[in-house]
Amino acid sequence: MFYGEYDHNIDRKGRLIIPAKFRKALTEQEAKPFFLTRGLDGCLFAFPEAEWRLLEGRFKQIPFTKGEGRKFNRLFFSGATEVELDKLGRVLVPKMLKEYAGIKQAVVVVGVSSRIEIWAKDRWTAFYDEAQESFEEVAERVILDE
């Protein structure tokens, strides 16, 4: 799947080179199109099609009668776009997604197992600096003892 952290830049036309290891993983999964959308914590999420379809199925289960469910689904799906790699391994990041994530040029592309996250470099640095201080405490709270 997707692992690691890579510094990249978005070009003037809004194109981002996807790291070679991630392109290889997408090819191995036969994920020609993949899906880019608003993520959490101010980043963008990118999912291979199979993973996207699983999430879509789960999110369809959220009752539309619940206000929070409607809000989440609207924001998550309205920001979604289907993208494909060009011959140089780039994707076009839509303007509204760049604005949402505060992306101007420098980005960090992060592999998080089944998804790719795309962060504005300054946001990633701020997140990382804060999160790494409490990494062990968070691990103790979220990882269950066996």
CATH number where 6 lies: 3.40.1550.20
Per-residue pLDDT reduced to its tens digit, 80-99 = 999 999 999 999 999 999 99
Of the candidates 95, 118, 89, which has an alpha carbon nearest to the alpha carbon of residue 24?
A: 89
pLDDT digits (tens, 9 = 90+) for 27-36: 888 778 999 9
- To the nearest whole percent, how much of the chain has pLDDT over 90? 81
Reported as a single tens digit per residue, the pLDDT across 12-59 is 999 999 999 999 998 888 778 999 999 999 999 999 999 999 999 999
pLDDT of residue 134: 87
For the cut 70, the answer to whether the pLDDT of residue 146 exceeds it is no
Query: What residue numbers bound the domain in which 95 lies?
Result: 2-142
Q: Which residues contact 64 (CB under 8 A, 6 or more apart)?
A: 70, 73
* Predicted pLDDT at 136: 85
Structural domain count of the chain: 1
Exposed / middle / buried, residue 80 (Cβ in 10 Å: 0-12, 13-18, 19+): middle
Tokens of 114: 């089944």
Taking CA atoms, 52 is separated from 44, 92, 98, in Å, by 14, 18, 20
